[in-house]
Chain A
Amino acid sequence: MVGAHVGNLATACTEAASSDGSPPAQIEFRNVTKMYGRTAALRDFSLTVRRGEFLTILGPSGSGKTTALMILAGFEAPSSGDILIAQKSVAAVPPFRRDQGIVFQSYALFPHLTVRQNLEFPLEMRGMKANDRLAKVDRTLEQVHLKEFGSRMPSQLSGGQQQRVALARALIADSPVLLLDEPLGALDRNLREQMQSEIKQLHREFGKTTIFVTHDQEEALTLSDRIVVMRAGRIEQVDAPEALYDRPISRFVANFLGEANILSQDGSDTFKGGAPAGKVAMIRPERITIRSFAFPSVDLEKRQSVMGHVEEMIYAGPLRKYHVRVGDEVLVVREHVASGQLIFQLGDRVQLSWLRSDVRFLAE
């Protein structure tokens, strides 16, 4: 009885997907908590993923990212709370009826099957005919630049190649939902960027609801519609990339996403930057203007300024980073390299200034 009901649900999803073009794969976590013994891998996790959205989960190691995906995929049962897909609870839907393309953190390629057989597997399970499978596998292999590798065993591939096979295998069956657990972690920078734009392209083209887990903040910022920042099993903040970077709500988020100068709580008045009690003031390194001590900026109506001396200069291609000591604090300043720019040396006395409106007040 239950099986029949579940079957209907699954077909309902796919039918609806084909009729109105956009998959009704709206996903909702409702107060999901997952306990492993006494430790909570997820705590009161509530999140709504919109249809066709590209959502990234970002967080330090062990913060519960994989756990959230595994619960959504049906491999782990939540200790409490519920998961809804297309407004229906999927508590009773086993994983193999959830139609989600998944890239596992460890790739999970079948070691006894060739690359081609790995890619064919999901198609075969959906009852596709051998001829159709052939064409589809060829096309997908090309997409991930692995055309020549079809007959290899996974153990004969490099880490990055395995990762691309895993990605291809998740994409090939056209599931309306993609769950990608650090799918690009093992790739070098070039390939990574290439695959990022590939993923972005695919997403734009087919508009599949995608949940993407990563450690890499830059990747999160470039790819996502929204980013979820997790901390110890809880959601710290959910926002669009720009909003998240520009208006982090906590010191944790600010530090996790980009660099942040926390202006000391108990320092001088300037440093407090007018932070209310229980909050700290934060200024991003690129919002700080660095000037020679001899030619300070004087627009003190809108700007705050402090004096200090250069303690370190780091040259990083298009950027130059200064560590400037101001009293007990060291502030990081980031400046784009431009021609005719004044370059400060170690020990130089400098003035740092920033717009008052660029200061953010964050929860501790």
Chain B
Amino acid sequence: MDVFRDVFRNPLGLTVPALTILIVVFGLPTVFFFFASLNAPEYSLSNYQAFLYRGANLRILVQTIEVSVFATLICLVIGYPTAYLITAAPKRARIALTVLIFLPWLTSGLVRTYAWILLLGDNGLINRTLLDLGLISSPLALIYNRLAVYIGMVHIMLPVMILPLLSVMQGIDKSLMAAARGMGARPFSAFWRVFLPLSLPGVRSGTILVFVICLGFYITPQALGGLRDVMLSTLIATQIATSFNVGMVASAAFILLAIAAVMLSVFGLDSSGKQAHPDRSHRKDRPKSVFRSSVLTKGLGDRVRAAYWARELYQQGDASNWLALAGSVFLALVMTFLLLPGLLVIVMSFSGGAYLEFPPSTLSLQWYQSFFGDPSWTGALWTSVQIGLMVAVLSTIVGTLAAYGLSRTTPRIRSSVTICLMTPITLPAVVVGVAIYFGMVRLGMLGTATGIVLTQSVGATAYVVAIVSATLANFDRRLERSALSMQASPLQTFMRVTMPLIRPGVIGGALFAFIHSFDEVVQTSLVSGFSIRTLPLKMWENMRNELDPTIAAIGSVITLMPILWLVALYVTWWRAGPSARKRWLNT
């Protein structure tokens, strides 16, 4: 009992497990790695000089930034109107659209990239259709160029841009716009003067998040881009796989890290300074807002917060019918872009012929048989499930404890520790992967299941902390006090009062942890040491070598899985009773 009381008295104690894993697996290796990049103990910048003096490297660096910037801009240009139109849609449509945006985000990036190969390849759906129609005589060069890279990256990153935008836009008080209109502002100027500025926090979170993730992109550019479209992350991964030149890898990783850090701090700090609120309640969750919205803590169930004004806005006036039509067409196009590739993979996976066709001329389950009949595939699936479960359990426990502890500390400590715990999913994935790889080598865990579980738990814990923290932010601490006053011990209070009330967040966190583990390729491929094959690793390997149609079957299985997750989540949520639902929607 005394232990519990001490922990109760010192909430920071609850963050110890999560921080220990983070520091051992990621923090310390990063520090050592940094010193290695400086040629410790001599300390020199020679590695960086060597890196930057090589023209090829410099070109790749510039190209990485360029690709990331453009991909981010495209996401913003498509994502902002999309989010706006969804906010303006009637409630039912809004919920449906939000879920539809959310779905592809839950499906494996690998599968989505594979879908684009099927679509854009020389032998792919588009070329084949055009050839069959006699419109072209030889395949168009749709793949292995910059355009394909942008298509693939935007397809993957668009939900990440839209979801924070949505959550901010839905939170904008409709009466503000009404007030602006009441003061004589035209619809457009009401949008320009009121809505746009209020939606900027969402723009900021979405943009930073997308940009930083793009910096570390690895799979998509390599699968869809040409030989010239190499990104820094590909360079790093290749270096590790072939000749591990510590100086080279380290300088590349830290340059990438520096760009990401500069972006995060400049944008993060700058705009938070501008909107500095004296209000404590605002300040307390602002540092987290980037991450919070990024993981869609507000989006999933769709906050049924009134935002009808936006609809009013574009339904006003004579030109409004045209605008509404244009809006619907635009939304339809975006949704098609987001969802069609996945659907095509699912349909084509039932092809009966020797290769994948659309529409399939005959139906068969042959690719499913080749998946489930091949022990190397089922073995990989089983490995992934096992690792996923372990990651989910470990990160849910340490993440929930940490979030709970953080909810009871001062806002200042809370925000700095939260930022630390979030680094693994905020920084470019390949940088994190390299640092962890370095650590795993030292710990002698390279190529072990424990190593992979720890690696993935670092990222998964970040998701759990973000989701559970968001749930806890809406949790009334007085309920705990009330339980304590009735002689419930702190442990009883947690189990009987706190836990039941934050359960949706914990379950959501566990699901995200599992999905994170199940999809992770970049870091896993680095630390697997070629001795353990998870499902995504094997898929990635097969994708690089030949276009194995079996991947379509796997792809449709793991695309359908998130839908099952959602149904499961929905059922838990529904069964939690009306009051819990109401609380949830108000979250």
Contacts and interface: CB of A to CB of B under 8 A. Distances in A.
Interface string B2-19: 100100100000000000
Nearest to A3: B2
Contacts of A102: 481-482, 485
A122 B481 contact: no
Interface in B493-510: 493, 496-497, 500-501
Contacts of B417: none
Contacts, number: 81
Interface in B314-355: none
A75 B582 contact: no
Contact of B583 (A109, A111, A156): A111
A122 B578 contact: no
A75 B482 CA distance: 10
A100 B482 CA distance: 10
A97 B482 contact: no
A contacts with B: majority SS:
mixed
B545 interface: no
B486 A2 contact: no
Contacts of B577: 112, 153
Contacts of A73: 481, 485
Interface in B441-490: 476, 478-479, 481-490
Interface in A1-58: 2-3
Nearest to A77: B9
B375 to A, nearest CB: 46
Contact of B1 (A3, A100, A106, A125): A3
A153 B578 contact: yes
B8 A100 contact: no
A194 to B, nearest CB: 24
A85 B69 CA distance: 65
B580 interface: yes
B485 to A, nearest CB: 4
Interface residues of B, number: 29
Chain B contact residues: helix, strand, loop or mixed: helix
B492 interface: yes
A108 B478 contact: yes
Given A112-B501, A122-B487, A2 B578 contact: no
Nearest to A96: B484
A153 B581 CA distance: 13
B501 A173 contact: no
Nearest to B490: A96
Interface of A: 2-3, 70, 73-75, 94-102, 104, 106, 108-112, 121-122, 125-126, 153-156, 169, 173
| Interface pairs A-B: 3 shortest CB-CB | A122-B486, A108-B482, A102-B485
Interface of B: 1-2, 5, 8, 476, 478-479, 481-490, 492-493, 496-497, 500-501, 577-580, 582-583
29 contacts: A3-B1, A3-B2, A73-B481, A74-B484, A94-B490, A96-B486, A96-B487, A96-B490, A100-B485, A104-B481, A104-B482, A108-B476, A108-B478, A110-B479, A110-B483, A111-B501, A111-B579, A112-B579, A112-B580, A121-B488, A122-B486, A122-B487, A125-B487, A125-B488, A153-B579, A155-B582, A169-B486, A173-B486, A173-B487
